[in-house]
Amino acid sequence: MFYINVNDCIRKGTAMAKTNKTSNVGADRSKTGSSATDRLNPDARSRKEQPPGAASIADPASEAIRDAQTTPRPDKAQLQGQSPQVLNEPKPPFPQQHQGKFGLESEMNPRPQYMAPLYKAAGKLAGKVALITGGDSGIGRAVANLYGKEGADVAIVFLPSELSDAQETKRAVEASGRKCLLIPGDLTDAKFCTEAIERTVRELGKLDILVSNAAYQNRTESLADLTEDEFDTTFKTNIYAYFWLCKAALKYLKPGGAIIATSSETGLEGSKKLPAYSATKGAINAFTKVLAMELAENGIRVNAVAPGPVWTPLNPADQGESPRKVSEFGKDTMFKRPAQPEEIAPAYVFLASDADSSFISGIVLEEMGKTTAG
């Protein structure tokens, strides 16, 4: 596996921008009306003026970040005549791999796709401020990237050991011309959760959107193998943190604000080898519905997103999963592959945008790669 120096790419991209003062700012790529070849060759697209607050994917620094993902898209010949994205994301089997307890996206093969080159920004979150937990990688990184494109400043929470991943997220958001505040710490600490909210407001001026996304999981063969410490860590990371963050955020969120939690298909259907994780995701669903009822009169909407298998560091870092199983991850969906983070993230834009989802609160939006659980 090889690595790209993203800083070098950005510096080169910025230099290109300075020498090309007469070029127009390009619009983000659109899923509708784009050929699969256009996805691979964004420069072939016409450029249009962006709405205020919308980011430009044609910005050289943004393109450099995208190109720094080490998993290439299929070549032009492979893409001819095919639909974009749904048929062109990586499919298992992947290389067998495993990581330590807290994985890094930079060490995954293939690298998760998060730049969403077909996504067309429209200034939906212009002037907003969002806090995203687990924003260093996976779904959180993809959401941070799109929020930046939509005009929001972003704060991301991550573990100190995940700093290198967080810095790539920061570069991606800043390539869209937005601020990205890095907040390292442990979400199993109630005081840290409160401080994360306070620091976001102190340094970015306000809080409009809270995304409780960070999660912890480990598979076990049976309930007898699940220790009390493991059970406690899973609940504190996944549901206690959501509770603590919401309590701290309520004094800052104003009408039009949004809270979004990351749930899971396991919270709807359960998973035999993930009893603690499944239980926390079920708790997230119920807590989301109750909070939505309470905050509706304040004009604050609360929703959850329930993904199915998504290619993120959570998978190779699962200490109960074998490298062989990781290599086959997602093969049982109807698409015969896991989702990529860039495919899940647009739902978080939809639920954060008052213009798009002002009458939606208390739902668990399923993105599971199969028919709905209900």
Which of 71-80, 159-168, 254-263 shows the lowest per-residue confidence on average (mean pLDDT)?
71-80
176-192: per-residue pLDDT in tens?
Answer: 999 999 999 999 999 99
Q: Which of 195, 220, 206, 216 is closest to 284 using CA atoms?
A: 216
pLDDT at 354 over 60: yes
Band of pLDDT at residue 198, cut at 50, 70 and 90: very high
44-56: per-residue pLDDT in tens?
Answer: 333 333 444 444 4
pTM: 0.78
State the catalytic residues.
Answer: 277
- Length of the chain counted residue by residue: 374
The tokens for 315 are 């998978």
209-255: per-residue pLDDT in tens?
Answer: 999 999 998 888 889 999 999 999 999 999 999 999 999 999 999 99
Mean pLDDT of 18-47: 36
157 forms beta bridges with 133, 183
Mean pLDDT of 49-71: 44
At residue 90, the pLDDT reads 85
At residue 326, the pLDDT reads 85
Alpha helices in 20-137 (DSSP H): 36-40, 60-67, 76-79
pLDDT at 334 over 70: yes
Domain spans of the chain, in order of start = 105-367
Mean pLDDT of 274-291: 96
Q: How far is CA 196 from the centre of its chain?
A: 18
Give the number of other CB atoms < 10 A from CB of residue 198: 15
Q: What kind of fold does domain 105-367 have according to CATH? A: Rossmann fold (3.40.50)
